[in-house]
Structure 1
Amino acid sequence: MTFVVLLITLAISFITDIKSRKIFNIVTFPSMFIGIIFNTITFGWEGLFFSILGLLTGFGLLVIPYALGGIAAGDVKLLMAIGALQGSSFVFGSFLYITIIGGVIALVLLIMQGELRNTIKRIFTTAQLKTLNGLNKNELHHAFPYGVAIVLGTICYTGVIYF
């Protein structure tokens, strides 16, 4: 049951993030509630703890990138929904794939736009200054809908776990 809800949530989020660069609350919140309710009914208090811990793990993994303005709230809520449905170890395992896929997508986009060298220079300059003040949000024109990486990473991890 939760696996089917996960796949539906991922499919809808993938499409909406590509089309409108948004992951809608009408998709993520019901997924969170379904995960919590289903796991609680099926496994009792352990199921409730399983879902809440997964939800909090999803939140914890993306709260800093969100606070720094690197991703949107919809991305955080999508990872929270994945956690509520499948638990903390699943969301953490997915996150490893998500970060790799997100990095590859970012690298490909920078190469295609001819901006890899400038971006690396900016990163090293900022690192030497040991402050984020050197980064201007207006320069982040290489941003991409990170929900795509979340969906692809979760599907890759699902393949490792279930198949």
Structure 2
Amino acid sequence: MVTTNNALLLLLVAASGFFDAKERKIPNKITFTGILIGIIFNSITGGWMGLLEGVIGMVAGLAIFFLPFVMGGMGAGDVKLMGAIGALMGWRFSLMTALYSALVGGVMVLGYLLYTGKLKDTLKKMILSLINLLFHFLNQLGYNEKIERIQQRFTKDGQEYKKIYIPYGVAIAGGTVLVLVASAQGFHIF
């Protein structure tokens, strides 16, 4: 069953995913309009409680991706898109969308690494990073020259990590669709 808010949601994520894939950004016109429509729609259908639900959903949606944004893992448009999803659908839906989007994003990155032949190098760099983190932790427990010599064997100078860009708006759109499908099948976490 396609409800009005589901139709608005699908329109929002389709437009966002399209622009993110094409332009590598999600325009404010889309995200701010989505937030405004979500809050107004919930206010009309639910009165003051609907308004409160829309605002709480928006804040929760923004908060979910705020830390990854601050750490440079995603763009501001992705954060605002989650705020719009929360404003329209509520905080529970935005939380589930974030989880499903992470799965879709992971599949997208894996597909990209397989397609470009960079999977082996990426896994190697990840393992080396984990080893360096372990050595750093061991050094914090107490300086040890043997640990430092072992760490130097694993450290490769001059290797730079090149950030992999995926249009996360597409992953959010995919995650949104998966949440809607799961909900239609009666699968609810909350």
**TM-score (norm: length of structure 2):** 0.77
Distance in 1, Cα, partners of 2:56 & 2:67? 18
* Structure 1 residue 65, shift from structure 2 partner: 1.4
Question: Deviations for 1:35-61, whole angstroms, at most 9, x for unmatched residues?
Answer: 112212321222122112211221122
Correspondence 1:145 to 2:148: no
Correspondence 1:52 to 2:55: yes
* Bigger-Rg structure (1/2): 2
**Paired position in structure 1 for 2:100:** 97
Alignment of 1:25-64 (within 5 A): 25-64=28-67
Distance in 2, Cα, partners of 1:44 & 1:97? 30
**TM-score (norm: length of structure 1):** 0.88
Residue-pair matches, total: 159
**Which 5+ residue runs of structure 2 have no aligned equivalent?**
137-156, 186-190
**Paired position in structure 2 for 1:161:** 183
Query: Which sits farther off after the overlay, 62-71 or 146-155?
Result: 62-71
Distance in 2, Cα, partners of 1:59 & 1:129? 33
**Which 5+ residue runs of structure 1 have no aligned equivalent?**
none
Correspondence 1:12 to 2:12: no
**Paired position in structure 2 for 1:128:** 131
Distance in 1, Cα, partners of 2:184 & 2:28? 27
Distance in 1, Cα, partners of 2:178 & 2:7? 16
**Paired position in structure 1 for 2:77:** 74
* Structure 1 residue 136, shift from structure 2 partner: 5.3
Question: Deviations for 1:65-117, whole angstroms, at most 9, x for unmatched residues?
Answer: 11111111111111110110000111111222111111011011111111112
Correspondence 1:118 to 2:116: no
Q: CA RMSD in A?
A: 2.0
* SS state at 1:44 partner: helix
Distance in 2, Cα, partners of 1:53 & 1:129? 40
Q: Percent identity?
A: 38
